[in-house]
Amino acid sequence: MTVAGVTQPRVRTVSLNCFLGSPVGSPVVRTYRRLGEVLRPVQTFTFIDEREETINDGSFGLQWEFDPATPAAWVLRDKPGTRHRGGAVLAYADGHVETHRWRDGRTLDPPRDDAPSPGNADLSWLQARATERPGLEP
């Protein structure tokens, strides 16, 4: 990583799920101030490998108003890591970890943050494991 023309070592490559620790409430998505508030700890990830070149804060951003019924509107906000054979390691609220391999080329090599990604199954997979959506739980 280069800062002000000086190469620095990377500090981290993991980010916190954007719906955890958020002070923002929303009528369309659940956010969690405490780990104990997570309704499906075995299915909700806490930390994820993020692509090194796109780490911009401590949070892994996903769509707040994601709707599985409107795949044309899906957007890949932050870029997940691909260092693990084209996948990323995720830690879950119940304490287990898993590696998930991305299948869609738009996840493996997105052109930018906030990249439109209509119908991307990887994005649907991530969103389903990030939070619960009242009326839209899997």
Q: What is the pLDDT of residue 138?
A: 47
Query: What band does 136 get if pLDDT is binned at 50, 70 and 90?
Result: low
Q: Does residue 76 carry a pLDDT above 90?
A: yes
Among candidates 129, 132, 138, which has minimal Cα distance to 48? 129
Token pair of 83 as six digits: 């260092």
Lowest mean pLDDT among 21-25, 58-62, 70-74, 82-86: 21-25
Residue 115 CB neighbours (<10 A): 17
Q: Does residue 55 carry a pLDDT above 90?
A: no
Beta bridge partners of 127: none
Q: Does residue 1 carry a pLDDT above 70?
A: no
Task: Please tell me the distance from the alpha carbon of residue 50 to that of residue 109, in angstroms, as a whole number.
Answer: 13
Mean pLDDT of 44-53: 92
Task: Please tell me the distance from the alpha carbon of residue 121 to that of residue 37, in angstroms, as a whole number.
Answer: 27
Q: What is the pLDDT of residue 121?
A: 97
Task: Please tell me the distance from the alpha carbon of residue 111 to that of residue 14, in angstroms, as a whole number.
Answer: 20
Instruction: Give the number of residues written for the chain.
Output: 138
Mean pLDDT of 69-80: 95
| Half-sphere exposure for 89 (CA within 13 Å, toward CB) | 8
Q: Does residue 137 carry a pLDDT above 60?
A: no
Annotate 15-31 with b (16+ C-beta within 10 A) or e (fewer): bbbbbbebeeeeeebbb
Mean pLDDT of 57-86: 93
In the block, residue with structure tokens 């002000």: 4
Mean pLDDT of 71-97: 96
